[in-house]
Structure 1
Amino acid sequence: MARLTADQLVAIEWLAKPKKGGKTYEEIAAMCGVTARTLENWRKKPEFDAEFRRAVKRVNDVRLPELVESLAEIAITDRNAAMAKLALQVGGILTDSVEVTTKGGDETDVEALRLRLEALKREKSEAAE
């Protein structure tokens, strides 16, 4: 993997800030000694994009509690079901996974199931004849 230059790292830090730290795209490019077109080309490189995403995560991790709180507020005040679902998912209360448990402690008789399936297959083939 290609290493990023110091100028690319500077660009990433500015681009990752909320509202680009108050800078325009052109100002960030100028600070790095490149054109806006070069900055756009950097953005297309996988190694630049990967580091940019890491920087965005670092910058926004500190604001995550505020975001979660705002999700709950929107869900309550706007009666927004999508926000309620998202807030519950972020809180780990609502997941997409399904847990299945057996009750009674009886072991499944796999051999009996196999024999029953064979009998059903025989019945089906006899009915087809």
Structure 2
Amino acid sequence: MANTLSAEQLIAIDWLAQPKKGGKTYEEIAELCGVTARTLENWRKNAMFDAEFRRALRRNNDVRLPELLQSLADIAIRDGNAAMAKLALQVGGVLTESIEVTNKDGEGTDIEALRLRVASLSQRQSETSE
């Protein structure tokens, strides 16, 4: 197989990436592409075909992502479901799995300058809150 996908393969990807395969059976999609169902199965095992199929799935589902996120949030709030809340926050990029922090015992840090800065900010905050 060449480094590009054929028109028939792209047609197959368009159908396969639709929800419920666009209402077509596997055999009907193969017929639309002018190939056998076995050929279509072999294409599905091809890395390039699979990569393009996954891109098509993402494109097709991107439009529904806001709806999905809203649904996750609704379920989390309605049911008090912490796992669903965590998932919604992770998908939204608000929550990460872990953050790595390294401490070099203040090496290269001007601790006195930091103390003065904190004191200055604290004083400014107390002046604005009066």
Higher deviation after alignment, 10-19 or 73-82 = 73-82
Shift of 1:6: 0.3
> Which residue of structure 2 lines up, in the alignment, with residue 50 of structure 1?
51
Bigger Rg, which one: 1
> Which residue of structure 2 lines up, in the alignment, with residue 90 of structure 1?
91
How much identity, in percent, do the aligned residues show?
Answer: 74
Trace 1:1-129 onto structure 2 (pairs within 5 A).
2-98=3-99, 100=101, 106-107=106-107
The residue type equivalent to 1:38 in the other structure is: T
| Structure 1 vs Structure 2 CA RMSD | 1.9
Aligned pairs, how many? 106
The residue type equivalent to 2:78 in the other structure is: T
- Secondary structure of the 1:97 match is coil
Shift of 1:77: 2.0
Q: TM-score, normalised by structure 2?
A: 0.73
> Which residue of structure 2 lines up, in the alignment, with residue 123 of structure 1?
none
Shift of 1:97: 2.8
Structure 1 runs of 4+ off > 6 angstroms? none
Unaligned 5+ segments in structure 1 are 109-129
